[in-house]
Structure 1
Amino acid sequence: MPGAGAAPTLRCVRAITVPSPGGPDALVLAELPDPVATPGTVVVRVAAAGVNRADVLQRQGHYPPPPGAPEHPGLEVSGTVEAVGEGVGGIAVGQEVCALLDGGGYAEFVAVPAGQVLPVPAGVGLVEAAALPETACTVWSNVFMLAGLRPGELLLVHGGGSGIGTAAIQLARCAGARVAVTAGSAAKLQRCAELGAEVLVNYREQDFVAEVREATGGRGADVVLDVVGAKYLQRNVEVLAPNGRIVVIGLQGGTRGELDLGRLLAKRGALLATSLRARPAEEKAAIVASVAEHVWPLVAAGRVRPVVHEVLPLAEAARAHAVMEESSHTGKLLLVP
């Protein structure tokens, strides 16, 4: 114990850091200062952190955190509220929560804006709840709030076996829409079918434009949720139904592509592109509130469930990133401190 008048000892917490960009081995377990609950924030003792493609890009040096965000990766967590900052209402110490983050989730503790905190839905375990915030907020904000998917329409999801894809299938089916997916293996397509996808395209062997057209009598997809970007840009326009909407949320296939505006115009189509992480706090809070209102009841009712591929120790974050880059997983990868 320090003597009278001595400065208190600063507690440190374990976290995964990226001292310099590189491969999975660039992730290093280190000690960082304990986060503090400032006004408008809460500190969460992390039970699990979700691993996302954006974390891989950040590790590689391609996706820096927004100003003011923690430098270490991690965009979603579940856990128990450890401390509540001034001005925060409706959240109590000891409450089990999950949260959408600006960064810093690969740690034992993390500070979160109160507006980005969600209760753990009924029927979901504390660890598996970490698989929900990023995927639910991404799919709900893009497919429903932005693209306005309607009952009876067809949603084409590229990367159907991903965390985003497995959530999109379930939410679209709950909304009364049909779902087509692309994935790179029979096992992933089988899991997509179990979740409710009707049109299954192995992109290594089949042309998704032809397959979706055949399945829809030539009409095409009403909404395309695309994580690929430039590589699929023109074919996404080709597969689009009249009045269809393409939402680009990832750039795994590059950032620059050629677009036939005449073709898009003829279909009265819309090309939309969004990023969740860099949005202002008030926009994220609005998305989180909408997810709590519309998605969480579906999760509590068992109609939408987190799909977890594997749970790994925080110290094995490098292995989780290697699996992510191999795309050998279906659903989410989680890290537990």
Structure 2
Amino acid sequence: MRAIVFEEFGGPEVLNVVDVPEPEPGPGEVTIDVAYAGVNYADIKARAQGFRVESLPFRPGLEVSGLIRAVGAGVTGFAPGQEVTAFLCGGGYAETVVAPAATVFPLCSGLSLRTGATLPSALPTAYALLHEVARLREGDTVLVQGAAGGVGTVAGQLARMGGASAVYGVVSSLDKAEHALKSGYDQVFTDTTFDADVREVTGGRGVDIALDPVGGETFRRTLAVVGRFGRLVSFGSADSGEMWRVGPADTYPLAISVSGFCIPSMAAADPGRLRELADRAFRTVTDGGVELPVSAEFPLAEAADAHRLVESRTSTGKLLLRVAE
């Protein structure tokens, strides 16, 4: 079967199409014939920096949709031919993948395999950030960095659905503002001026909740516009700078809470909790109309082009690799 593998860290050119043996499911696992694989920024960091890469060669890919091929010993509730979507800790850029049954989810009725591939990473992440970590309350004001990306697109919708009184987004370019404004945001600011803009629209009060996947200086600037009793949640470090640190001087004066979330860590340590979280998050799609539009789709062999588009910072919504028709 075909898979995308890199044997060294570097630019998109290190991604190669190779033939590898088809995997067999072990106890508690299933194999999936992949229809679509999601492209995430974590895949780019893995390829470029070795993020969460234990050894080389490595096959990227955190989420897929497709058909169950086979089930391993002890697996119940799945059968060959069943349409599913799955969260993986790597390996998704391939024609067939092996996945823990605990992080495989039957595709909801009425959803296509193409839509299913957009769900496993961004949607549970956004849901957890707002409802489990930040504890969104009705009337809260919310600020989201990366508002036009995958997590940002659904976070705006979920914040609005959860009763936020105002939802503000931050984008790298105003070319992305239209996309964000269609995703639940009241106002969208650029990353060069967002802190001054937030102070102005909140009358200097700041926001109740801020979500940050960037880190570095953006984290510090975001922290500065969190208001009294506010909650800042970090869920990435896209700028690859020094990891953030906070202390009493940052949190005591306004009683601010700072926390973090990482869905691969949850998948590895507590897949049962991830399943509960995903079930609730997926219902917002089937029952509430939340959607993550696919903005670009590439054949599996053109994964490098998908990575180039992500790194150009011009993409919005979700990018997919088309593995099988």
TM-score higher than 0.5 here? yes
| Displacement after TM superposition at 1:325 (Å) | 0.4
Who is 1:240 aligned against? 226
| Displacement after TM superposition at 1:65 (Å) | 3.2
| Displacement after TM superposition at 1:173 (Å) | 1.3
Who is 1:9 aligned against? none
Q: 2:199 aligns with which of 207, 213, 232?
A: 213
Q: 2:254 aligns with which of 267, 271, 277?
A: 267
| Displacement after TM superposition at 1:66 (Å) | 5.5
- Letter of the structure 2 residue corresponding to residue 161 of structure 1: A
Q: TM-score, normalized by length of structure 1?
A: 0.90
Aligned equivalents of 2:269 and 2:108: distance in 1? Answer: 23
Greater Cα shift, 117-126 or 174-183: 117-126
| Displacement after TM superposition at 1:62 (Å) | 2.8
Contact 1:170 1:303 (8 Å CA) reproduced: no
Q: TM-score, normalized by length of structure 2?
A: 0.93
Distance 1:260 1:238, change over 3 A: farther
What are the within-5 Å matches in structure 2 for residues 55-134 of structure 1? 55-65=43-53, 71-134=58-121
Aligned equivalents of 1:34 and 1:61: distance in 2? Answer: 28
Distance 1:268 1:70, change over 3 A: farther
Who is 1:160 aligned against? 147
Distance 1:285 1:70, change over 3 A: farther
- String of CA shifts for 1:260-306, please: whole Å, max 9, x gaps: 642421111111123222346352331232221x2222211352012
| Displacement after TM superposition at 1:70 (Å) | 9.0
Q: 2:133 aligns with which of 143, 146, 164?
A: 146
Who is 1:284 aligned against? 271
Who is 1:32 aligned against? 20
| Displacement after TM superposition at 1:259 (Å) | 4.6
Contact 1:136 1:295 (8 Å CA) reproduced: yes
Q: 1:251 aligns with which of 232, 237, 240?
A: 237
Who is 1:227 aligned against? 213
Aligned equivalents of 1:66 and 1:39: distance in 2? Answer: 22
Contact 2:124 2:281 (8 Å CA) reproduced: no
Aligned equivalents of 1:291 and 1:110: distance in 2? Answer: 20
Contact 1:79 1:96 (8 Å CA) reproduced: yes
Q: 2:186 aligns with which of 198, 206, 220?
A: 198
- Letter of the structure 2 residue corresponding to residue 231 of structure 1: E
Secondary structure of the 2:113 match is coil
- String of CA shifts for 1:153-183, please: whole Å, max 9, x gaps: 1221101011111011111111111311100
Contact 2:39 2:61 (8 Å CA) reproduced: yes
Distance 1:130 1:313, change over 3 A: same
Aligned equivalents of 1:246 and 1:105: distance in 2? Answer: 31
Q: 1:53 aligns with which of 24, 37, 41?
A: 41
Contact 1:66 1:278 (8 Å CA) reproduced: no
| Displacement after TM superposition at 1:252 (Å) | 1.8
Secondary structure of the 2:304 match is helix
1:331 and 2:317 matched: yes
| Displacement after TM superposition at 1:213 (Å) | 2.4
- The percent of aligned pairs where both chains have the same amino acid is 38
Distance 1:278 1:291, change over 3 A: closer
